[in-house]
Amino acid sequence: MEPQKNLNRLLSQEASLHLLQKLQAESYPLAYQHEKHRVTLLDQAGNELLYFRLPLLLPPPQALGQVKRWDMHYVILLIQSGNCAMGYFENGLNLDHKVFRSYMVRKKQGKSQVKYLKTKGKSRAGSRVRLGETVEFFENINERLQEYFEEHEVHRIAMSCSKILIPYLFDSKVTTPFDKRDERIFKIPRHVHTPIYEVMMSTNNYLLKGELIYDESQQQLLDSLIPIAAATEPDTEWEF
């Protein structure tokens, strides 16, 4: 169960590495979740004390100290109704990006055509135009994804996409180059604003930081693990 009142602290990559090494050196009980790239710190009875999301460029605990170099090639994919920002990254650096926009929102109601059909079920001329653009929107996304996966080895897929749009992505005539249950998928654990290039790069900066998530009752434990000076403010630039 997640802590009832969550606090969080963002850490640089260096501070995250030191914390992970300290947790291992002092033999704290840890549980690693691959899908969240997150370590859970446990007490001796197996109760969850706090969560530590690792920076995307840090290896999981079991690989720490066993690899001389940890290469991470990943795709960031941000999708909302009518807006998509996506990019290919190697070790934190963006090597390619693309922004797609589509006429998917009914202007008067401000509701996406996909949600409208879920409730109304009928499609007039304007609706058919929006649906046509929706189909093309996801075909364009998958075409660019296919290019990334054909040209590069992709280790992780960092995604933010509403549940209602997931079927349109994976049921497109242009196939998605990974399955919806692909173990490389990493659901971005925070709200993402309307996807544009700047939002994608801000999201990347966030993923390159570590994040401690804890209940306020664990503040003393947290302070014993890492000095306050090692924390960074949310959305500051990544410290290499």
Task: For residue 238, give the DSSP letter.
Answer: P
Partners of 31 in beta bridges:
40
Q: Mean pLDDT per 10-residue run, the chain (240 residues)?
A: 69 91 90 96 89 94 77 96 95 97 60 51 48 83 98 97 93 95 96 95 97 89 73 41
The pairing of beta strand 73-80 with beta strand 156-161: parallel
Contacts of 19 (CB under 8 A, 6+ apart): 11, 52, 210, 225, 226
- What is the total residue count of the chain? 240
Domain 73-194 has CATH 3.30.420.40: yes
At 198, is the secondary structure helix, strand, or coil?
Answer: helix
Q: Where are the domains of the chain?
A: 6-55+209-232, 73-194
**CA 180, CA 178: separation in Å to the nearest integer?**
7
Burial level of 35, CB count in 10 A (0-12/13-18/19+)? exposed
Instruction: Tell me the CA distances in angstroms from 53 to 68, 136, 177, one per residue in order.
Output: 22, 35, 26
CATH class of 6-55+209-232: alpha beta
Specify the amino acid at residue 44: Q
pLDDT of residue 128: 46
End-to-end Cα separation, the chain, in angstroms: 33
Q: What's the sign of the alpha-carbon dihedral 159, 165, 170, 175?
A: negative
Return the number of other C-beta atoms located less than 10 Å from residue 193's C-beta. Answer: 13
Instruction: Tell me the CA distances in angstroms from 239 to 71, 139, 197, one per residue in order.
Output: 18, 36, 20
